[in-house]
């Protein structure tokens, strides 16, 4: 009788393993590596809250573009058409603003991307004025640069720069100098270290070169990621610009991108890459640093969790994902669920 019971248990256990394992594999097959199936655990993001509407009053937007955070969790949003920076609490309550249209210190002509250093200084890519401006956390002007300092004896200025990232560990600065089709690596004083991409300002789809370098960020190891507006791909480089790999192709599937690809952001705590997939297929795709697709969220529309022409994304210290929903003139916030 005991032997019969043991045999029964053994057979049931084998059947349980036989039926459970295939189901587990089917669930895990929802991820893609450069268009190929891989086995990774999916991550989901759900709508949390939103703020903003169209207008020029405090807390409203005309063409919001980038979002970033200081050490206290305060939120900074650049607005290309208002030509200002607005500062909010983490839940979207308006605190202050600064900037107006012009080319004087503290004024902007298409304020594009925002970066914050470990001391809560705010760096704004003033694209139309071909410069980077630095402010304190209250919007007080500190300094500006219209070219890298000590650039090997040359005097080449920025040309329509579009994004900036500071390695928070080393202070090294990377800038997509878009009009010159290159990436610049600078020290914390904006002195030139090196560059990669084009030597003559020409566009290219070759590895290590660019066609409108757009978004840039670094991971916890110091590797650099660049996406282009015109080429549907993400390129990965080491800290000195040596090409490592690339992934992506044109399309609307997992790991594919539509033309006019917007900006990427790296959550350096998790080393996950969030990619804004533009106006033609408005969604956020998430990858690990090897290019493995993990999840996507967002669809076209104006409801909660939907996007119209999203432009930038960023992740706060608690893992909340802030999306600049430009076409809907608002900010949306998502959390893991």
- What is the chain's pLDDT, residue by residue, as a tens digit (337 residues)? 444 444 444 344 433 333 333 333 322 233 444 544 444 566 899 999 999 999 999 999 999 999 999 999 999 999 999 999 999 999 999 999 999 999 999 999 999 999 999 999 999 999 999 999 999 999 999 999 998 766 555 567 899 999 999 999 999 999 999 999 999 999 999 999 999 999 888 999 999 999 999 999 999 999 999 999 999 999 999 999 999 999 999 999 999 999 899 999 999 899 999 999 988 999 999 999 999 999 999 999 999 999 999 999 999 999 999 999 999 999 999 999 9
Residue 147 has a pLDDT of 84
Residue 237 has a pLDDT of 98
Question: Residue 76 has which token pair?
Answer: 């900074």
Listed in order, strand segments (DSSP E) in 212-291 are 213-218, 224-228, 234-237, 243-247, 264-267, 272-276, 284-288
Residue 35 has a pLDDT of 44
C-beta atoms surrounding 63 within 10 Å = 18
Residue 154 has a pLDDT of 53
26 phi/psi in degrees, rounded to 5: -65, -40
Q: Which residues lie closer than 8 Å to 17 by C-beta, 6 or more apart?
A: none
C-beta atoms surrounding 145 within 10 Å = 19
C-beta atoms surrounding 90 within 10 Å = 16
pTM summary value:
0.88
């Amino acid at each position: 009788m005991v032997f019969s019971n043991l045999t029964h248990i053994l057979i049931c256990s084998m059947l349980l393993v036989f039926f459970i394992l295939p189901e587990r594999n089917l669930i895990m097959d929802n991820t893609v590596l450069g268009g190929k199936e891989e086995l990774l655990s999916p991550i989901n993001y759900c709508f949390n809250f939103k703020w903003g509407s169209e207008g020029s009053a405090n807390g409203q937007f005309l063409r919001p573009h980038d979002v970033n955070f200081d050490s206290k969790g305060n939120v900074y949003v650049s607005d290309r058409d208002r030509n200002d920076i607005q500062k909010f609490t983490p839940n979207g309550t308006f605190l202050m603003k600064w900037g107006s249209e012009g080319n004087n210190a503290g004024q902007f002509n298409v304020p594009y991307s925002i970066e914050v250093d470990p001391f809560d200084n705010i760096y704004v890519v003033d694209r139309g004025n071909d410069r980077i401006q630095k402010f304190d956390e209250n919007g007080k002007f500190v300094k500006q640069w219209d070219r890298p300092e000590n650039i090997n004896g040359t005097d080449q200025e920025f040309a329509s720069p579009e994004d900036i990232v500071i390695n928070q560990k080393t202070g090294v600065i990377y800038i997509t100098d878009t009009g010159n089709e290159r990436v610049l690596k600078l020290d914390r004083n904006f002195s030139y270290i090196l560059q990669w991409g084009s030597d003559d300002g020409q566009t290219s789809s070759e590895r290590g070169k660019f066609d409108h370098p757009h978004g840039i960020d670094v991971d916890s190891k110091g590797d650099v990621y660049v996406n282009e507006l015109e080429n549907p791909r993400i390129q990965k480089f080491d800290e000195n610009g040596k090409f490592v790999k690339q992934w992506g192709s044109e399309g609307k599937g997992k790991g594919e991108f539509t033309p006019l690809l917007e900006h990427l952001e790296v959550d350096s705590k998790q080393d996950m890459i969030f990619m804004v997939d533009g106006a033609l297929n408005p969604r956020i795709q998430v990858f690990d640093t090897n290019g493995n697709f993990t999840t996507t969220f967002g669809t076209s529309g104006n409801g909660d969790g939907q996007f119209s022409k999203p432009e930038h994304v960023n992740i706060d210290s608690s893992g909340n994902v802030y999306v600049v929903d430009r076409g809907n003139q608002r900010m949306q916030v998502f959390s893991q669920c």
